[in-house]
Structure formats: C-alpha cells, structure tokens
Amino acid sequence: MIKIVFFAALREQLDCAELSLNADDVKTVNDVKQRLSDKNSQWRQTFSNASLLSAVNHDMVDGSHLVKSGDEVAFFPPVTGG
C-alpha cells in the first residue's frame, strides 16, 4: 500500500487528511494524482490545480517520480512559512 497525505487548504477542500492506495495500480506520482482525480468531480477539480506540490518520503518531487509500496506520498499547496 501507499500512504497518501494532504495538507493545509488542500486537506480542507478534500475534507481528507490521509488515505491508502493499492501500489499495484500506480507507477508514478502522476498516476496517483490521476487515481485520486477519478474519485469524483470535486477531487478532479481540486487536483487540476497546476500549482499543487508533491513529495515522496518527505522529498519534494515532480509528477514523473516513481512510487512503490510503503512510500508516503504527500500533496499540498505552495508553501507559505517564514
């Protein structure tokens, strides 16, 4: 399984902090995004936002990054700390 976590405005829009996905169904971060978009129209609209960032195992990555079982994949808006 792959653990998927969401933060900040994205978590609130989805009303979901985390979920699990079967690793057999996805190869890349973009595949994960696609699977999540397929959930329903609201998720599709949320994930169509091009500015969303992604991380795998706490490192920022782009959509082509490979994912495997045991990974933690995160999606979040551009960061605003400091």
Partner 1 sequence: MISQDVLKEISIQTKDFSLADEVALLEKDNLTDGAVVTFTGRVRNNNNGNSVTSLTLEHYPGMTEKSLAKIINQAKEQWRIGRVKVIHRIGELHIGEQIVFVGVTSKHRQDAFAANEFIMDYLKVKAPFWKKEQITEAGKTSENWLDAKTSDTDKAELWS
Q: What's the min distance (Å) between Cβ of 76 and partner 1?
A: 6
Single residue of 15, 24, 50, 59 touching partner 1 by CB under 8 A: 59
| Cβ burial 13-34 (10 Å sphere, 16+ → b, else e) | bbeeeeeebeeeebebbeebbe
**Cβ atoms within 10 Å of 35's Cβ, excluding its own:** 17
Single residue of 49, 60, 66, 70 touching partner 1 by CB under 8 A: 60
- DSSP for residue 17: S
16 contributes a contact to partner 1 by CB under 8 A? no
Q: Contact positions toward partner 1, by CB under 8 A?
A: 5, 7-9, 12, 51, 55, 58-60, 74, 76-82
